[in-house]
């Protein structure tokens, strides 16, 4: 084992302690970012006159070779590498000899790892936003594909009011839009350069941090070195954003599970995205939706786990912080796998329009009847009461509302007239919800137009 900190020690680190301490298996995912950070730092050192031009050339050539090896997947890790920083410095020493030992001047792994990790995240957030965008396009497609099809809308999972199916699909678009906005705003807080903060107190080399930030593409520079090496707010925020994305996808997935059941039958699962049972030959299971729901729990656990790690840490860097990367890497892999799979599964899910429409019963238009009475001048509370009585009578008689006679209605409220029967149509009910954001076809059309603008607008800027 070759460490970056051997001088002070005469004894060797215990083997199992070495394994606990090492982070290479996780932080090798930031190899490219580590090289980029070192390239910028070397240039900063040259500009500050800390290393000679020829030394800089040598370091920069060596690092470029290493970057190539990383990209080709041919970088050879040694069992003696403690973390990605020592692995790359070890390889640089193999390649260019003793000059490599000057690279770490004024730098600590504390500001180095924070830089690598932020750089990694700054580069991944746009990919995640792209995945979300693609998924949102699927939702818009489904909304458009469903045309004028209608379905029951639910509260408490009890039939409530009829809605346009497109409106339901689009209800899953907006939470993800907010997730994207959250990620965009987080991006600004991640894009802060810690490099140059040293171990905790700053660095004495005179390296131009403005230059480093520019070189690495950071928008801001940390203003307090103690904070810079220990700030993992961006990690917690990323995990929170991911947990909320997971929660939103899980809510959709749960509804897909319910709506593809035989009892509902609103949607039919595509073969390519369903799985069977080893015992029951007839089964077609919504495993991918269930896994989406399940993984949302694991992601939430990562957030809670990491916040617990952070809570109560003394300032500044503590080794506990090494626990920051694996949850983020795992969560990122999960979500960037779930989004495209779920998107394709939903894209190829068939919508059974008849089944959805025939699940709307006349009681779902009870609110329309109350609205009808208010149009006749009845105060809404009284209208609600009378309509409730109508529902009570019909359900006791085992009839739909439209099967009651006009006399039945008028015995409850004389304001009821023959025209009430027009108010029992689900399409009529939907058409009347014409407020902005409502379920009427024209409101939903406007909603889809706005959604498309958002998707395309972001593409243009992004």
Of 60 and 326, nearer to ligand ARG (C-beta) is 326
Name which of residues 15 to 74 contact ligand ARG (CB under 6 A): 23, 27
**Radius of gyration of the chain measured on its C-alpha atoms:** 30
Q: Does 336 bind ligand ARG (CB under 6 A)?
A: no
Instruction: Using alpha carbons only, give the angle 309, 221, 188 rounded to the nearest 5 degrees.
Output: 70
* Smallest gap from residue 319 Cβ to ligand ARG (A): 6
* Smallest gap from residue 82 Cβ to ligand ARG (A): 8
Q: Does 109 bind ligand ARG (CB under 6 A)?
A: yes
Name which of residues 124 to 163 contact ligand ARG (CB under 6 A): none
The rounded distance, in Å, linking the Cα atoms of 176 and 354 is 29
Q: Does 119 bind ligand ARG (CB under 6 A)?
A: no
The rounded distance, in Å, linking the Cα atoms of 201 and 374 is 71
Q: Does 321 bind ligand ARG (CB under 6 A)?
A: yes
The rounded distance, in Å, linking the Cα atoms of 184 and 178 is 10
Of 91 and 248, nearer to ligand ARG (C-beta) is 91
Of 180 and 232, nearer to ligand ARG (C-beta) is 232
CB 286 within 8 Å of CB 255: no
* Smallest gap from residue 116 Cβ to ligand ARG (A): 9
Secondary structure of residue 35 in the 3-state scheme: helix
- Catalytic residue check, 156: yes
| Neighbour-count burial for 88-125, b at 16+ CB within 10 Å, e otherwise | bbbbbbebbeebbebbbbbbbbbbbbbbbbbbbbbebb
Among 38, 110, 302, 309, binds ligand ARG (CB under 6 A): 110
Q: Which of 93, 119, 116, 118 is nearest to 34 (CA)?
A: 116
The rounded distance, in Å, linking the Cα atoms of 81 and 18 is 10
Q: Does 197 bind ligand ARG (CB under 6 A)?
A: no
80 φ, ψ (degrees, to nearest 5): -90, 0
Q: Which of 315, 347, 312, 309 is nearest to 328 (CA)?
A: 309
Of 113 and 331, nearer to ligand ARG (C-beta) is 113
The rounded distance, in Å, linking the Cα atoms of 451 and 140 is 8
**Residues 25, 185, 277, 395: which is the catalytic one?**
277
Stretch that binds ligand ARG, among 73-81, 134-142, 314-322, 436-444 (CB under 6 A): 314-322
The rounded distance, in Å, linking the Cα atoms of 388 and 411 is 13
Among 33, 55, 83, 413, binds ligand ARG (CB under 6 A): 83
* Smallest gap from residue 324 Cβ to ligand ARG (A): 7
Of 27 and 368, nearer to ligand ARG (C-beta) is 27
Residues annotated catalytic, as ranges: 156, 277
Q: Which residues bind ligand ARG (CB under 6 A)?
A: 23, 27, 83, 109-110, 113, 317, 319, 321-322
């Amino acid at each position: 084992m070759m460490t970056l900190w051997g001088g002070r020690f005469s004894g060797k680190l215990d083997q199992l302690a070495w394994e606990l301490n090492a982070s290479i298996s996780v932080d090798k995912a930031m190899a490219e970012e580590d090289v980029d950070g070192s390239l910028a730092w070397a240039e900063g050192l040259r500009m500050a006159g800390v290393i000679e031009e020829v030394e800089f050339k040598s370091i920069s050539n060596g690092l470029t070779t290493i970057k190539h090896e990383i990209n080709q997947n041919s970088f050879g890790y040694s069992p003696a590498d403690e973390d990605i920083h020592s692995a790359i410095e070890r390889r640089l020493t193999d390649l260019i000899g003793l000059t490599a030992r000057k690279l770490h001047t004024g730098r600590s792994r504390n500001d180095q790892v924070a830089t690598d990790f932020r750089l990694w995240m700054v580069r991944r957030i746009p990919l995640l936003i792209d995945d979300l965008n693609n998924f949102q396009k699927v939702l818009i497609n489904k909304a458009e594909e469903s045309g004028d099809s209608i379905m029951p809308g639910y509260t408490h999972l009890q039939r409530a009011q009829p809605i346009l199916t497109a409106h339901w699909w689009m209800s899953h678009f907006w939470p993800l839009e907010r997730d994207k906005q959250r990620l965009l705003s987080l991006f600004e807080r991640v894009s802060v350069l810690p490099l140059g903060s040293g171990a905790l107190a700053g660095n004495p080399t005179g390296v131009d941090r403005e230059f480093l930030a520019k070189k690495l593409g950071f928008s801001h520079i940390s203003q307090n070195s103690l904070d810079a090496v220990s700030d993992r707010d961006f990690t917690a925020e990323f995990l929170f954003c991911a947990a909320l994305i997971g929660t939103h996808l899980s809510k959709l997935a749960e509804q897909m599970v319910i709506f593809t059941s035989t009892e509902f039958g609103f949607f039919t699962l595509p073969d390519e995205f369903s799985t069977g049972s080893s015992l029951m030959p007839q089964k077609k299971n919504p495993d991918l939706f269930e896994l989406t729901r399940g993984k949302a729990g694991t992601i939430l656990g990562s957030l809670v786990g990491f916040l617990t790690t952070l809570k109560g840490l003394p300032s500044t860097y503590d080794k506990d912080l090494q626990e920051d990367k694996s949850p983020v890497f795992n969560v990122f892999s999960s979500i960037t796998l779930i989004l495209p799979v779920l998107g394709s599964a939903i894209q190829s899910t068939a919508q059974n329009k008849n089944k959805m429409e025939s699940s709307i019963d006349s009681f779902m238009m009870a609110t329309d009847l109350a609205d009808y009475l208010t149009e006749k001048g009845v105060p809404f509370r009284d209208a609600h009461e009378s309509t409730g009585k109508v529902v009570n009578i019909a359900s006791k008689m085992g009839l739909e509302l439209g099967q009651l006679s006009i006399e039945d209605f008028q015995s409850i409220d004389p304001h009821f007239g023959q025209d009430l029967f027009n108010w029992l149509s689900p399409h009529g009910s939907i058409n009347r919800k014409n407020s902005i954001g409502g379920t009427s076809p024209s409101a939903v059309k406007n909603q889809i137009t706005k959604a498309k603008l958002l998707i395309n607008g972001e593409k243009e800027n992004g």
